Copies of this chain bind each other. A is one copy, B any other.
């Protein structure tokens, strides 16, 4: 089933299918070039590193059971200050196994993550993903190694609030909002940049309001919207990441919710845009404002989990 009427047109306008060849699995990762990496390195001024990852923890982790079966990490030892019979001596070591949802914390969506109409990005059929083989196309190991110029679009700070939910619980970020933030920062977003869009939602998680963070107020949550998709396409950003749980605004734009998760579908499936959520932009917001600098080197290299539909990442900005 195609997207509802008006969105179908949007889908066609932003589509990148075939742009980088019929076999392309890299999507907007193709926009990451040696030039964008150099631009990132040249953005470093003080050398200050700011982590954008939330700790991966079992107790108090981000996942609270929606959707069901998304789980925080369990770390269980297979060796606990013990030796291995095969290696004598005085040493003792600890080894362990981790079991977690690939999107448990700060993560990047593989392009195999979402679909509609039976097709993934670039027209690969959804049947290319199976339980036994995982995503044989567009899996997490195909994601780009992101080292580029990052741009913080601090929509929230620009509007003088701690979070967009202070303006409206289900605040839908538009292209105009993104322009406003870029202009305030005096930044011209360039092809191959990665934009970080701050909603302020992460403050709830940091305040230990886990349910509020993951499910909003009556399931209303601010985020990117169908009104920001063309902006992403127009600026040819390689990726766009957000500091909230669902990435995109709830409720969707159509009254019947028939466009639920439309931003995911347009970004990932139609554009091949690299996206992800649960990025912690709170410290970065302060650092950028203090430095008066909203561009930086962004290193965000996804774990190359073969066949996975999402994967953990520990991004860092260097100002």
Binding site for B on A (CB under 8 A): 1-3, 32-38, 41-42, 44, 46-49, 51, 53-59, 66-71, 73-82, 84, 86-103, 112-117, 126, 129-132, 134-135, 141, 145, 147, 252, 256-262, 264-265, 297, 299, 301-310, 312-316, 318
Number of copies: 4
Task: Give 11 new A-B contacts, CB below 8 A, not counting A3-B90, A41-B42.
Answer: A1-B90, A38-B44, A41-B44, A53-B304, A54-B304, A69-B79, A89-B260, A90-B117, A91-B115, A96-B309, A98-B308
Would you give 27 A-B contacts (Cβ < 8 Å), ordered by A? A1-B90, A32-B49, A33-B47, A34-B46, A36-B47, A37-B44, A41-B42, A51-B145, A69-B97, A75-B102, A76-B97, A78-B131, A79-B131, A79-B132, A80-B129, A88-B257, A88-B260, A90-B117, A93-B114, A94-B113, A95-B310, A97-B101, A98-B102, A145-B314, A147-B299, A301-B301, A303-B312
Cross-chain contact B129 with A55 (CB below 8 angstroms): no
- CB-CB under 8 A from A38, the residues of chain B are 44, 46-47
> In the complex, what distance in Å separates the CA atom of A51 from the CA atom of B142?
12
Cross-chain contact A55 with B147 (CB below 8 angstroms): no
- CB-CB under 8 A from A103, the residues of chain B are 95
> In the complex, what distance in Å separates the CA atom of A2 from the CA atom of B91?
10
